[in-house]
A and B are shown apart, each in its own frame.
Chain A
C-alpha cells in the first residue's frame, strides 16, 4: 500500500492539514475567525444602506409608508418563513457533517438550496409585479402618472412621487444586494452538495460546511431586518386619515 494511503488510514485528518499551520486545531480556529471577520465586513457594507434607509424614512415618512403599501406582505412573510426554515435545515446539515452523516448532510443541504431558490423565485415574482405596476425607478416608473390621486395624497404632507421613488431605490438596492448574496450562497451550497456527496466533509473536515452555514445564516439575518423595515412600515392598517 502506498505510504500516503496508509497514513490516511492511521490519521484520516492528517491529510487535511495545510502546511503553514502547526496542527488541525489551529487551522480550524484560524479559519473560523477568518469567516467571522469577513461577516463583520459584510455587516458594515449592508450597514451603509441601512443608514441611508434610516435617515430617509425619518425625513420622508409619508412616502416610505406609501411605498411600503405596494409591497406584498403575504409574499414577504412567506419568504421570511422560507429563509428562517432554510437556516434550520442548514444548521441540521452542519450538524450532520459534524456527526459524519454523509446522506443526511447532503439531504439537508439540498433542502436548503431549494428553499433558497424558492426565496429568489418569490422575489422575482415580486419584482416582476413591481415592473408591471410601474414602480421600478429608472426602468419602469409610471405608477404615479396613472394614479394622480396618490400624488395629491402625498402632496398634503409636502412629499411627492419622487420621494416614493427614493423608497423604491432603496428597496431595490437593499433587496438586490441581498439577492446577489443569496445567489452566491446558492453557488456555495451547490458546491458543498457536489463535494459533500463524494464524502468530502464527513471524514473529519466538516469546517467548510460550517463556514458556508455561517454565511447563509448571516444572509438570513439581513433579511430578518429587511422584512419589517421594508414591508411592515404601515402594516395591516390603512394609510388614510392622518
Chain B
C-alpha cells in the first residue's frame, strides 16, 4: 500500500501485479441514494463528469445541425429561424453548461483536496448543493431551449433579447443564473480549501501548479460571476416587465448591458482556460520527467492572468459604440494579458527541453494543447488590435479564434486530464494505443474544422448567419468534413474509457510514476483520500529525467534477460540453475 510521504524520488514501484484496493470511494456504499446525497468530493466529481459529458453531446448535436446546414450556402437543411436557435443553444450549452464547469467541477473537485493532502473540500455540503444548482439550471436551460428555443446567441444582447426575440429567453436565463451560482460556490470552496486545508509542510511554493491555476480560476469565478447574475436578472426583468435598465426608450443604454455582460464573460473565458493550463502543467512535468521550468513564474502568471483578465473586456465591444479612447485602453491591456499566457507556453516548452519525453496519450493532448492554444492566443492578439478587429469582428475569424482556445485548448486539455487521472479515478488503465489514435484523430479533425474558418472570416464570411455567399462553400464543406472527423475523435474515448472500467488492466497507485500527493494513495482512493495525513518535505515536481531513463533501461534489461532465460528454458526443456537465474537485480 502507499506510504505516507513523498520522500521517494518518484521511482517506479516494482513490477508487481497491482490489485484494486478492497475498499475505496466507489464501493464503500452502493445505491442511488449514496450517490445523490453524497458529500464525498470524488463522487461529486463523478456526478459532474456524467452531467457535463451529457451536456457536451447536446451542445455537439446543436453544432452538428449548424455544420450540416452550412454545407450549402442557402440554408437548405433548416430554416434560418431554427439555425439561429441551434447556434444559440450550442453557445449557451457549451459555455455555461460544459466549459465553465468542466475541468474545475470534474478534475478540480476530484483532485484539489487530494493534491492538498486533505480529506475533502472545506464545505462538502456546499459542493453537493453546487452540483444540484448546476443540474437544475442545466435542465431548465435545456428545456427552455428545446421547447421554444432562444435565438439571441449566447450573448443575449439587449434590446434583441429583451424586446424583440421570440422564444424562452427568460427561462433560459434562469437556467444560466443557477449554473452561475454553482460556479460561484465551487470557486468559493476551492479558495477556502487552498488557504486553510493544506497538509503539514505544504507551503504555497510546494503546491502543484494545478492548484495555483485552480485557485486563480476560483478567484475569477467568485468575483466575476455575480456581475453576470445581476446582468441576467436585469435582462429577465426587462423581458418580463417590458421595461428595464437597458431600454433606450427610458434613456437606457444597451451598451451598458454589453459592459456588464462582458465584465463577466471575458474573465469567464479564463475560467475555461486556466484549469486547462493547470492540467497541462501537470502532464508536461510528468511526461517530460522534469520539474516545470520557472515554477514561480508559472504560478504568478496564473494569478496575473486572473487579475488582468478583468481589465480587458472592452475588446469585445470595439464596434459597439464604445468610445475609441476606451477601446485603445482595452487594446493595450489585452496585449498585456497575453504576456502571462505566453510565459506559461514558453515555460512548458522549456520544460520539455532535455527532458525524457514520453509520448503517451495525456502527453499528446498536452502538446496538442500548447500548439493549438498558441495559435488561438496569437490570433487573439490580432483581434485585440482594434483596427484589425473592426474588419474581422462578427466574422468566422472570431469563431475560429475562440474555438482554437476553447476546443483546441480547453477540451483537449480536459481529455488529456481525463486520461492522465483516469487510473486514479477508476483504478484502471485505458488502452494506450486507442488513446493515442483518438488524440491524433482529434488533432487532425480539429484543425480541418477550424483552420478554414480563419480564412473564411478573413475573407468576410459573417458569423451567426444561416446563409452565405457561394464563394465560401468549399471551405465550409471542408470545415464540416473536419467536424465529422472531430466527432469520431470525441466518440472513441467514450467507448474505450467505458470499456476499460471492466477490462482495463489494474493501474495501481502510481502508474505514471508521477509526483504529487494524489499519486501517493491507492487507486481508486479511499473515501477520506489518505490512510494517514501526508507530510510534505520535498519541492513539487521532484522528477529527474536521467534517473528515469536509467530506471527504464534497467527494467528493459531485466525484461530482456527474463525473456532470454525463458526462451533458453523452452529450448533446453530444463529449469534454470540458481546461478543462471541470479541476475543481480
Contact = CB atoms under 8 A, between A and B. Distances in A.
Interface of A: 19-22, 26, 29-31, 33-34, 37-38, 40-49, 51-52, 55-56, 59-60, 63, 137-138, 159, 162-163, 165-166, 169-170, 173, 177
A173 B195 contact: no
Nearest to B188: A37
A63 B244 CA distance: 16
Contacts of B226: 41-45, 47-48
Contacts of B231: 48
22 contacts: A30-B122, A30-B193, A30-B195, A33-B192, A33-B195, A34-B192, A37-B191, A38-B188, A41-B222, A41-B225, A44-B223, A45-B229, A47-B227, A48-B227, A48-B234, A51-B260, A59-B253, A162-B250, A165-B243, A166-B245, A169-B237, A169-B245
Contacts of A46: 230
Contact of A34 (B123, B224, B241, B244): B123
Given A34-B192, A41-B184, A138-B243, A20 B118 contact: yes
A55 B243 contact: no
Given A20-B122, A166-B251, A177-B233, 9 more contacts: A30-B192, A34-B188, A41-B223, A47-B226, A51-B256, A137-B241, A166-B250, A169-B244, A173-B237
Nearest to B181: A41
A55 B255 CA distance: 12
Contacts of B195: 30, 33
A12 B229 CA distance: 42
A165 B243 CA distance: 9
Contacts, number: 113
A93 to B, nearest CB: 24
Contact of A45 (B120, B230, B237): B230
B250 A169 contact: yes
B252 interface: yes
B33 interface: no
Interface in B518-558: 528, 533
Nearest to A166: B250
Nearest to A26: B196
Give the interface size class of chain B: 35 or more
A106 B35 CA distance: 38
B8 interface: no
Contacts of B583: none
B120 A59 contact: no
B124 interface: yes
Nearest to B191: A37
Contacts of B192: 30, 33-34, 37
Q: Which of A26, A40, A52, A60 has the most B CB atoms < 10 Å from its CB?
A: A52
Contacts of B250: 162-163, 165-166, 169
Given A37-B222, A48-B230, A169-B245, A20 B188 contact: no
Nearest to A32: B192
B249 interface: yes
B296 interface: no
A40 to B, nearest CB: 6
Contacts of A55: 253, 256
Nearest to A41: B226
A60 B251 contact: yes
A177 to B, nearest CB: 8
Interface string B192-236: 110111000000000000000000000000111111011101100
